[in-house]
Structures are given as C-alpha cells and as structure tokens.
C-alpha cells in the first residue's frame, strides 16, 4: 500500500506512558509515534538490503525465520524518520546510540523465540527502543525466573505490548537482565501481513557482565 500524504514523520506531540513491570524494570509506550507509518513500511521493505542470518544450532546451520540489516553511526539510512527517531530518543533519555538495526517479519511464520539481548554484555541498566511499522503483532514479555515457562500457555507470557504500525516503545532498567521477550508466530489474516522493527540499544555498562555466548553464538552438544 502506498501513501497519499507522504513521508512519515515523528509526531512530537505524542505522549509517553510508563508501565512498571517490577521495581527495576519499566516500559515507555508512545502510540502513534510517527505519522503515515504505511509509507515508511513500504519504503523500507523495498530499500533495505535485507538478508537472513544463519545460526549454528548443535549439528547444523539454520536460517533465522526473519531478515535483517544493521546501520552504523554515520552511514546513509533508508528513511529519514529513522534518524529523526534516533535524535528524539537520544534527547529524551540523554543517551547516544552508535547505530540501529532493522528486522523484517515478512509474514506470520516469521518469528522470534523468547530471549534477552545479552549481546550488550552489561544488562543491569539498559535502554532498548523499538519502532514498529506494518502489522500489529503480539510482543510478549515474561519474567526470566518463571519456573513454569516451559509448560505454561504462551510460554508464560505476562504482558503483550501488541504494538501497531507507527508505535514506539522503550524497555528500560533491568528489562534485559530479569525479563525475556518474544515475537511469536501468528495465524489467520494476520499471517499474511508483515512487520518491520527498528531497534536501538544502549547500556550504561554498570553491573556484572553476562556470562556465556549471546543468542547468536554457536550452540553445540555437550561432550560430557
């Protein structure tokens, strides 16, 4: 679908609503953060050099069920609303991002299992900013220490942020230390709709570093 009102922009009048998940973790939600979100989605779907990421899982290479691309600071970006978003968030939270990544869930079969953003290494005080374009999809959160998460319905999810196209949210505090998040598969009419996620990450570097590999690190069977 193409836009008739042309290019997406940040709506600076949108309010942020904060929800505390626990004493050290919060989510700021800005519904309708950008205007004309379909235009931004269409532009990025065609302009970004999307590619799948391959992961080594125990005995073979697998392809992630989504495609992505990253941009470092100073590189040309595929849509000005991305830089506009980055500058606005940096000013609001007093942090600096060294780039961002884009992820495209092309349809309802593309998904992401529960995980934490451990690749930041220091996860006790972080910001993860996510701009959603395209279809509304479930976006689940669960406590990392839930003992029933392997058998509970929906993986033990306790919150569904369910962002729509043009929404932005910020996970802060200990969200990457104490909570896990997921973008599950969807069926029905939603299975034919795509979602693009713009993501910015920052860590204060405080606290204990994460041990072990990140989500993308190779996984092998134990030799013991």
Per-residue pLDDT of the chain (224 residues; tens, 9 = 90+): 333 456 899 999 999 999 999 999 999 999 999 999 999 999 999 999 999 987 666 676 778 899 999 999 999 999 999 999 999 999 999 999 999 999 999 999 999 999 999 999 999 999 999 999 999 999 999 999 999 998 998 999 999 999 999 999 999 999 999 999 999 999 876 667 899 999 999 999 999 999 876 666 666 666 65
Strands (E), 121-162: 126-134, 140-143, 159-160
pTM for the whole structure:
0.90
- Are the C-beta atoms of residues 161 and 131 closer than 8 Å to each other? no
Question: How many structural domains are present in the chain?
Answer: 1
CATH code of residue 82: 2.60.120.590
DSSP string of 68-98?
A: EEEEETTS--S-HHHHHHHHHHHHHHT---S
Indicate whether 43 belongs to any domain. yes
Indicate whether 32 belongs to any domain. yes
Q: Is 202 helix (H, G, I), strand (E, B) or coil?
A: strand
Q: Is 107 helix (H, G, I), strand (E, B) or coil?
A: coil
Q: Print the domain residue range for 38.
A: 9-213
Indicate whether 206 belongs to any domain. yes
pLDDT for residue 205: 97
Indicate whether 27 belongs to any domain. yes
By CB neighbour count within 10 A (0-12 exposed, 13-18 middle, 19+ buried), where does 138 fall? middle
- Are the C-beta atoms of residues 130 and 167 closer than 8 Å to each other? no
Structure tokens at 40: 């931004």
pLDDT for residue 53: 84
Indicate whether 198 belongs to any domain. yes
Which has the closest alpha carbon to 30: 44, 12, 43? 12
pLDDT for residue 23: 97
Q: Show Cβ contacts of residue 83 under 8 Å, excluding neighbours closer than 6 positions.
A: 77
Q: Round to whole Å and give the CA distance between 165 and 71.
A: 21
Indicate whether 222 belongs to any domain. no
Q: How far is CA 105 from CA 40, 112, 114, 203, in A?
A: 15, 9, 15, 26
pLDDT for residue 4: 45
pLDDT for residue 187: 87
Q: How far is CA 170 from CA 8, 92, 187, 199, 216, in A?
A: 20, 11, 27, 10, 23
Indicate whether 16 belongs to any domain. yes
Indicate whether 191 belongs to any domain. yes
């Amino acid at each position: 679908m193409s836009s008739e009102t042309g290019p997406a922009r940040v709506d600076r009048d949108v309010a942020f609503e904060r929800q505390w998940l626990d004493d050290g973790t919060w989510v700021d939600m800005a519904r309708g953060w950008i205007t004309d979100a379909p235009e931004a989605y269409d532009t990025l779907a065609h302009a970004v050099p999307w590619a799948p990421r391959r992961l080594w899982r125990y005995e073979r290479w697998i392809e992630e069920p989504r495609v992505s691309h990253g941009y470092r600071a100073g590189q040309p970006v595929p849509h000005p609303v991305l830089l506009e978003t980055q500058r606005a968030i940096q000013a609001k939270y007093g942090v600096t991002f060294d780039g961002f990544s884009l992820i495209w869930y092309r349809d309802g079969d593309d998904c992401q299992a529960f995980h934490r953003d451990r690749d930041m290494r220091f996860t006790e005080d972080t910001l993860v900013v996510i701009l959603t374009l395209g279809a509304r999809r479930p976006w689940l959160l669960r406590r990392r220490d839930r003992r029933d998460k392997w058998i509970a319905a929906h993986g033990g999810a306790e919150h569904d942020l369910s962002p729509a196209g043009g929404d932005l949210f910020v996970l802060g505090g200990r969200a990457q230390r104490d909570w896990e998040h997921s973008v599950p598969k969807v069926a029905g009419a939603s299975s034919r709709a795509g979602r693009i996620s713009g993501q910015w990450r920052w860590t204060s570097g405080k606290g204990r570093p994460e041990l072990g590999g990140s989500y993308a690190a190779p996984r092998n069977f134990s030799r013991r």
